[in-house]
Chain A
Amino acid sequence: GENVEQHPSTLSVQEGDSAVIKCTYSDSASNYFPWYKQELGKRPQLIIDIRSNVGEKKDQRIAVTLNKTAKHFSLHITETQPEDSAVYFCAASIGGNKLVFGAGTILRVKS
């Protein structure tokens, strides 16, 4: 069925290091892949997204890569800061507008 796997479930890094979160999806027709950041007690907020016609997109310290052949995409955060600590969710589009979310990654940046 429609499925998005996300790894790792928790990630702890030292401030200034990089963090990488990976997701795989099952529907080969998926063509939109957003990433959301959710701080404790708050709503998920879009931080970056990528569409299937590109392989990489970057926005300051955040980048996302997409491998359509292997059906996986990754979030890369460089020079991590304590305020990057949050839960990160990947998602993939299914059948048009529908988004299926991964289980989330708890990122902790230690200062």
Chain B
Amino acid sequence: DAGVIQSPRHEVTEMGQEVTLRCKPISGHNSLFWYRQTMMRGLELLIYFNNNVPIDDSGMPEDRFSAKMPNASFSTLKIQPSEPRDSAVYFCASSGDRRSLHFGNGTRLTVT
């Protein structure tokens, strides 16, 4: 099992640009989560999907953030337009029936 796969590992972009983060969950897992980690705010849940359906997006900071899960093996988190305060590590995680979260290696986003 390859685990949760995220891409890219690092992303450096200029303010105002669109950023797309990608995630492939573990095969067979039916829940997918996007978290953001910063020193100031720790691990924050942005949104989660159950069976490809968004269940709770109350953590999405503002309309500049959007997430999709078109099928069971792929999800994207998009920021448009990006701002310097969006700089963080973004983790995707998936879980199955046991409920334990398996995290990807994260995408370190830097917005200059």
Q: Are B99 and A93 within 8 A (Cβ)?
A: yes
Q: Does A99 contact B (CB under 8 A)?
A: yes
Check A97 against B55 for contact (C-beta < 8 Å).
Answer: yes
Question: In chain B between 44 and 88, which residues have their CB closer than 8 angstroms to a CB of chain A?
Answer: 45, 48, 50, 55-56
Q: Which residues from chain A contact B102 at a C-beta distance below 8 Å?
A: 46
Q: What is the CA–CA distance of A89 and B103 in the complex, to the nearest angstrom?
A: 13
- Taken together as a complex, chains A and B put the C-alpha atoms of A99 and B101 apart, in Å, by 9
Cβ contact within 8 Å between A99 and B45: yes
CB A101 to nearest CB in B, in angstroms, measures: 4
Closest to B104 in A: A43
A44 and B43 form a contact (CB under 8 A) = yes
Find chain A residues with CB under 8 A from B104 CB. Answer: 43
Q: Could you give 9 example pairs across A and B, Cβ below 8 Å?
A: A44-B101, A46-B101, A49-B100, A89-B42, A89-B43, A97-B50, A98-B48, A100-B45, A104-B43
